[in-house]
Amino acid sequence: MEAMPKKKKDKLEQLIINTIRTLSMDAVQKANSGHPGTPMSLAPLAFTIWDKFMKFNPRNTDWPNRDRFVLSNGHASMLLYSLLHLTGYDISLNDIKTFRQLHSKCAGHPEYGLAPGVETTTGPLGQGVATSVGMAIAEKWLGTYFNRPGHEIIDYKVFAIAGDGCMMEGISGEAASLAGHLGLDNLIWFYDNNHITIEGHTALAFSEDVAARFMGYNWHVQRVGDANDLEMIEESIGRAINETEQPSLIIVDSHIGFGSPNKQDTSAAHGEPLGEEEIRKTKINYGWDPDKKFYVPKEVKEYRERVLRKGAVYEDEWNKKFLAYEREYPDLAKKLRHMENREMPKGWEKCLPEFPADAKGLPTRSSNSKILNAIVPEYPWLIGGAADVGSSTKTYIDGATSFEKNMYDGRNFHFGIRENAMAATANGMALSKLRPYTACYFVFSDYMRAPLRLACLMQNPVIFIFTHDSIGLGEDGPTHQPVEQLASLRAMPNLDVIRPADANELSVMWRYIMEDRNRPVALILTRQNVPTFDRKKYAPAEGALKGAYILADSKGKPDVILMGTGSEVQLCLGAYEKLKKQGTKARVVSMPCWSLFEAQSKDYREEVLPSSVRARVSVEAGSTYGWSRYVGAQDQGGVIGVTSFGESAPVADLFPEFGFTVDHVVAKAKEVLKNGGKKKAKKSGKK
């Protein structure tokens, strides 16, 4: 086993490390589920990072200048929970004993907002390290924006541990490439090079030279040949911290399930409990009492108290620094507080533009650009960019510089063609209290689905801007034309999918976006023009804040309800006017955000969509999936949507080809009315 500790201090360190190991083994065994092997092998590394290098205060997990730690191999969650317990966070032994049980803070994978000290939710491999890049970006931006000579109030470091799985996932490459390009010297990743994954030895599927790969990304790379060599680990981290040009990767050669006589270096140590007998043998190897479970020695408890006191001192020192800063720069200090609390300055909404009625109108991607640029002066930490399509998504901040290496005050981000990492990076930025936005073509939201899902899971208020929102994008054809994306994103809990019909709906929705503190949004915007409705003739755009509202109505109870989103609302309005002339009483409901509508009172929903009116038609240039919840079963209402992939053609040809015309909406309304809102309506889609 390990070299004998030389000094008393070393003895204590070994005791703490073994406590991390044994707590993790015991918790996994009790849960009869989980991953013991990696906590056992990485305990010395994690301990060294936390004990020797990280500044944190367990009593205030939101302290702005704390160092960040990300366990990207989230399946090794017990490593983090054990550490959090031993360093004084609000994770009790009882929480650890209920690992993986209902309502426990110690969930199967670390969950942001559930266990104090967990900086980001991890588990989907590769996401954690990519998120850590966003945290490092945030530190650079915040430091450049807020720090003043002699007042370095933001200077935190970001540490992340990754396993073979994270390294194999493409997102780690995207994110590392970006981090290297940006020269994020505040970022240190550790690669747990244990050669074991679920199916066995990594030789089955992974033979690349990780060190060479990261050198190619412009990273500073070191290797620690023995995960139990505390001195070597400490020295390498010290060098990484002193590195001032590049992010650092420290490759740590380790043995999964270290100390287990029969399971070390095998995939059996990865994803299942060691077994009672094996745990006993392993504990004996550690010099531990094999009869003790969930045992925290007295000296380790005392260590916990010392860490708590140290944490309070760190924050105290920072608070003093901040007071001095506040005296010299009261406005900046106020801004920092606003940002930390996600507050908007009073009356900020006055900056939101109102667009005059205009039959020709403009694409919502263009109105979005105007709105975004109206907000940014009020809100300096609203920053973001696109995955190389900024000129198409129109998401540049006018007059702002680019965020580049050593130009960290830029507000225009160039994420490169890395949608997956873009979204994960934005997660890290938002977790650091910036208000980031990302942008790309809607169809490529598929590439971002995993980090987008994590944003929803964490209730992390990232603004995901998607343009080119339907077949309406035209000639680029089916590879670029989203169909099922709207339905699939609407199925995601905690996500507001907003597809505004015109510029004023969009402007109003930005009020909601900026004032909400914990919901990610997906803004779905057109490439093609949409008219700006005459709000004197039709209802005010404020209705959009309720997710769906009556835009145009009949006198008395309507015979038929036409509902739609985005660029198809104009077709509903056109059909409404025609039907009106023909004596049919129609209502138009614009539905920019289903989730917001569903959050309204039952009375409001009934007012907008009275249950007594069964003749209903929905119009949306996307999958028909889901519309039956508003239109009723297929034998009651009509759904105009897209049931195939699109086609390459000019939009003027595509919309009629796929049934998106006023006349088709009128015909469908009549068909539904003729059937008394009861019989089967013809299936819509490509005509």
77 near ligand TPP (CB under 6 A):
no
Query: Which is nearer to ligand TPP, 39 or 592 (by Cβ)?
Result: 39
Q: Which stretch binds ligand TPP (CB under 6 A): 118-126, 237-245, 571-579, 678-686?
A: 118-126
Using the contact rule CB under 6 A, the part of the chain among 31-39, 396-404, 482-490, 673-681 near ligand TPP is: 31-39
Q: Is 568 a catalytic site residue?
A: no
Least separation in angstroms between CB 461 and ligand TPP: 24
> Cα dist. 112→70, 81, 538 in Å?
11, 13, 44
Query: What's the rounded Cα separation, in Å, for the pair 18 and 192?
Result: 18
Contact status: 453 vs ligand TPP (CB under 6 A):
no
Q: Taking CB positions, which residue lies at the least distance from ligand TPP?
A: 163
The verdict on 263 binding ligand TPP (CB under 6 A) reads: no
Q: Which helix (H) or strand (E) holds 334?
A: helix 330-340
Residue with tokens 């606003």: 338
> What letter represents residue 463's amino acid?
I
Minimum distance of ligand TPP from residue 229's CB (angstroms) = 19
Smallest distance, ligand TPP to C-beta of residue 83, A = 16
Q: Is 164 a binder of ligand TPP (CB under 6 A)?
A: yes
Nearer Cβ to ligand TPP (206/625)? 206
Question: Phi and psi of 195, rounded to 5°?
Answer: 65, 10
111 binds ligand TPP (CB under 6 A): no
Single-letter code of the amino acid located at 171: I
Contacting residue, 3, 93, 198, 284, with ligand TPP by CB under 6 A = 198
Min dist CB 422 to ligand TPP, Å, is 17
For residue 228, the minimal CB distance to ligand TPP (Å) is 16
Selected binder of ligand TPP within 34, 128, 134, 165 (CB under 6 A): 165
Helices (H), ranges, 90-157 = 93-97, 127-146
Q: Six-digit token pair at 606?
A: 């009934």
Q: Compute the distance between CA of residue 217 and CA of residue 242 in angstroms, rounded to an integer.
A: 19
Minimum separation from the CB atom of position 380 to ligand TPP (A): 35
Quote the least distance from Cβ 451 to ligand TPP, whole Å: 11
Complex with ligand TPP: residue 165 or 632, whichever CB lies closer = 165
* CA torsion through residues 304, 310, 316, 318, sign: negative
Task: Identify the residue among 100, 105, 270, 614 touching ligand TPP (CB under 6 A).
Answer: 270
Provide the token pair at 474.
């035209």
Q: Which is nearer to ligand TPP, 213 or 535 (CB)?
A: 213
Cα separation, 320 vs 87, in Å, equals 24
The dihedral built from the CA positions of residue 530, 536, 542 and 547, taken in this order, carries a sign that is negative
Q: Does 76 bind ligand TPP (CB under 6 A)?
A: yes
Strand partners of residue 590: 549, 564
Residue 122 CB, shortest distance to ligand TPP, in Å, is 9
Question: Is 16 an interacting residue with respect to ligand TPP (CB under 6 A)?
Answer: no
- Residue from 75, 433, 453, 499 in contact with ligand TPP (CB under 6 A): 75
Residue 426 sits at the vertex; the CA angle it makes with 507 and 45, to the nearest 5 degrees, is 160
**73 contacts ligand TPP (rule: CB under 6 A):** yes
Establish if 163 lies at the interface with ligand TPP (CB under 6 A). yes
Nearest to 300 by CA among 108, 607, 93: 93
Q: CA 179 to CA 248: how far, in whole Å?
A: 10
Among 124, 384, 410, 564, binds ligand TPP (CB under 6 A): 124
Region 533-562 residues binding ligand TPP, contact defined as CB under 6 A: none
Segment lying near ligand TPP (by CB under 6 A), choices 52-60, 120-128, 489-497, 540-548: 120-128
Stretch that binds ligand TPP, among 13-21, 22-30, 69-77, 552-560 (CB under 6 A): 69-77
**Distance in angstroms (rounded) separating the CA atoms of residues 470 and 180:** 35
Q: How near is the Cβ of 70 to ligand TPP at its closest, in Å?
A: 14
Nearest of 489, 498, 511 to residue 566 by alpha carbon? 498
35 vs 157 by CB, closer to ligand TPP: 35
Q: For residue 464, which phi and psi values (nearest 5 degrees)?
A: -95, 110
3-class DSSP state for residue 670?
helix
Question: Both tokens of residue 513?
Answer: 């976006």
Secondary structure in 3-state letters for 528-546: CEEEECCCCCCCCHHHHHH
Residue 50 DSSP code: I
> Kind of pairing, strands 529-532 and 358-363?
antiparallel
Tell the smallest beta-carbon distance from residue 168 to ligand TPP (Å): 8
Euclidean distance between CA atoms 106 and 103, whole angstroms: 8
When asked if residue 615 is in the footprint of ligand TPP (CB under 6 A), the reply is no
The number of residues that bind ligand TPP (CB under 6 A) is 21
Cα–Cα distance between 139 and 145 in angstroms, integer?
Answer: 10
Q: Which is nearer to ligand TPP, 197 or 481 (by Cβ)?
A: 197
> Rounded to whole angstroms, how far apart are CA atoms 311 and 330?
26
Q: List the catalytic residue out of 119, 419, 568, 620.
A: 419
Using CB under 6 A as the binding rule, whether residue 123 contacts ligand TPP is answered as yes
Which residue from 223, 55, 50, 239 is spatially nearest to 139, judged by alpha carbons?
55
Q: What are phi and psi of 413, to 5 degrees?
A: -95, 145
Contact stretch for ligand TPP (CB under 6 A) within 86-94, 159-167, 285-293, 532-540: 159-167
Q: For ligand TPP, which is the closer residue by CB, 451 or 558?
A: 451
Q: How far is the CB of 233 from ligand TPP (least distance, A)?
A: 17
CB-wise, 129 or 256, nearer to ligand TPP?
256
Question: CB burial class (10 A; 0-12, 13-18, 19+) of residue 175?
Answer: buried
Q: Specify the residue, 124 or 547, whose C-beta has the smaller distance to ligand TPP.
A: 124
Please report, in angstroms and rounded to a whole number, the separation of the first and last CA atoms in the chain.
73
Residue among 227 and 376 whose Cβ is closer to ligand TPP: 227
Q: Is 197 in the site for ligand TPP (CB under 6 A)?
A: yes
- Applying CB under 6 A, among 17, 256, 544, 571 the residue interacting with ligand TPP is 256
**Residue 618 main-chain phi, psi, to 5 deg:** -110, 145
DSSP character string of 102-120:
TT-SS-SS--TTTSTT--S
Among 125, 522, 573, 575, binds ligand TPP (CB under 6 A): 125
- Say whether residue 120 binds ligand TPP (CB under 6 A): no
Alpha helices, DSSP H, located in 252-297 = 268-271, 276-285
Residue 613: burial class (beta carbons within 10 Å; 0-12, 13-18, 19+): middle
Span from 71-79, 147-155, 285-293, 318-326 in contact with ligand TPP (CB under 6 A)? 71-79
Site map 177..196 versus ligand TPP, x via CB under 6 A: ---------------x-x-x
The catalytic site residues sit at: 419
Q: List contacts with ligand TPP (CB under 6 A).
A: 35, 37-38, 73, 75-76, 123-125, 163-166, 169, 192, 194, 196-198, 256, 270
